[in-house]
């Protein structure tokens, strides 16, 4: 009992002393910077779904304002082709899928010939014998716009010998006569677009955002 009392007294004395002692400046310790540990973890890339839709955005021949989009949608064993154009001279214009997805040449001859994996003769999209790339003619109205929608069993969106992906859509300055071999005598090429697979089916009527270019390869190590 006595010891406890003594300790209590001592503690009280210490408290008094502490109270009388000059206040120590409380050192403001800056709060330690909180490490940002909650950075979003990049999601693992999902497995590539089978492409069911592909599209091409047309680039105009230099000095023109021709534009448009072409969408390829796999529907069972057929592919629906939906094309919309603007800025085109009124009239009838041949429209094909060409074999090389390369629009780099000023006259778009880099896109090569009609896509023709079946080694068939040129024809109309309604002909039994035709190129897979024979998509017919598009009527362009006075306001410069026109559209086309057709279904073809000679193309696929999925990989394969008849896949439209990686080919080029070409709009011509003249009508396709569906007779002249192998071009249809459709004249020069006024717009070109490379067909690229979409990761997911696009909503109907939606324009696909252009996909980013591949990052450039790393520079070679210096020696």
114 is catalytic: yes
What are 113's two structure tokens?
Answer: 């010939």
Choosing from 84, 96, 130, 176, the catalytic residue is 96
93 is catalytic: no
Is residue 164 involved in binding Cu ion (CB under 5 A)?
A: no
Q: Residue with CB nearest Cu ion? A: 96
In the complex with Cu ion, which residue's Cβ is closer, 49 or 188?
Answer: 188
Is residue 170 involved in binding Cu ion (CB under 5 A)?
A: yes
Please choose, out of 19-27, 30-38, 71-79, 166-174, the segment that lies near Cu ion by the rule CB under 5 A: 166-174
In the complex with Cu ion, which residue's Cβ is closer, 84 or 96?
Answer: 96
Choosing from 93, 122, 130, 176, the catalytic residue is 122
Positions in 73-102 near Cu ion (CB under 5 A): 96
Is residue 167 involved in binding Cu ion (CB under 5 A)?
A: no
User: CA nearest 61: which of 131, 109, 122?
Assistant: 109
Choosing from 84, 98, 130, 176, the catalytic residue is 98
CB 115 within 8 A of CB 133: yes
Minimum distance between the CB of residue 85 and Cu ion, rounded to whole angstroms? 14
In the complex with Cu ion, which residue's Cβ is closer, 52 or 69?
Answer: 69
What are 144's two structure tokens?
Answer: 């410069």
**DSSP string for residues in 84-129:** EEES--SEEEEEEEES-----STTSGGG-SB--TT------TTSSS
Minimum distance between the CB of residue 96 and Cu ion, rounded to whole angstroms? 3
Q: Residues in contact with Cu ion, total (CB under 5 A)?
A: 2
Question: What does DSSP say about strands 168-172 and 189-194: parallel, antiparallel, or unpaired?
Answer: antiparallel
CA of 87: how far to CAs of 12, 94, 145, 197, in Å?
Answer: 94, 15, 6, 25
* CB atoms closer than 10 angstroms to residue 199: 13
Contact string (CB under 5 A) for Cu ion, positions 195-214, x = contact: --------------------
Choosing from 93, 114, 130, 176, the catalytic residue is 114
Contact string (CB under 5 A) for Cu ion, positions 1-30, x = contact: ------------------------------
Q: How far apart are CA 35 and CA 45, in angstroms?
A: 27
Beta-strand ranges (E) seen in the chain are: 53-57, 59-60, 67-75, 78-86, 91-98, 134-140, 146-152, 168-172, 189-194, 196-197
Point out which residues bind Cu ion (CB under 5 A): 96, 170
Active site residues: 96, 98, 114, 122, 131, 134, 172, 189
């Amino acid at each position: 009992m006595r010891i406890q009392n003594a300790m209590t007294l001592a503690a009280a004395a210490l408290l008094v002393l502490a109270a009388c002692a000059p206040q120590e400046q409380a050192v403001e310790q800056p709060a330690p910077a909180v490490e940002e540990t909650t950075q979003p973890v990049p999601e693992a890339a999902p497995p590539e779904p089978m492409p069911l839709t592909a599209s091409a955005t047309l680039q105009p021949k230099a000095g023109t304002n021709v534009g448009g989009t072409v969408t390829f949608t796999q529907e069972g064993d057929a592919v629906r082709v939906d094309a919309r154009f603007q800025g085109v001279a009124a009239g009838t214009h041949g429209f094909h899928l060409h074999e090389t997805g390369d629009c780099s040449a000023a006259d778009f001859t880099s896109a090569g010939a009609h896509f023709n994996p079946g080694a068939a003769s040129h024809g109309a999209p309604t002909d039994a014998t035709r190129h897979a790339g024979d998509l017919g003619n598009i009527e362009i109205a006075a306001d410069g716009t026109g559209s086309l929608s057709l279904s073809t069993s000679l193309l696929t969106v999925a990989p394969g010998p008849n896949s439209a992906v990686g080919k080029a859509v070409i709009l011509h300055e003249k009508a396709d006569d569906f007779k002249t071999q192998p071009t249809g005598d459709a004249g020069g090429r006024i717009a070109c677009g490379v067909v690229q697979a979409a990761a997911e089916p696009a909503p109907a009527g939606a324009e696909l955002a252009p996909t980013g270019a591949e990052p450039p390869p790393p520079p070679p190590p210096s020696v």
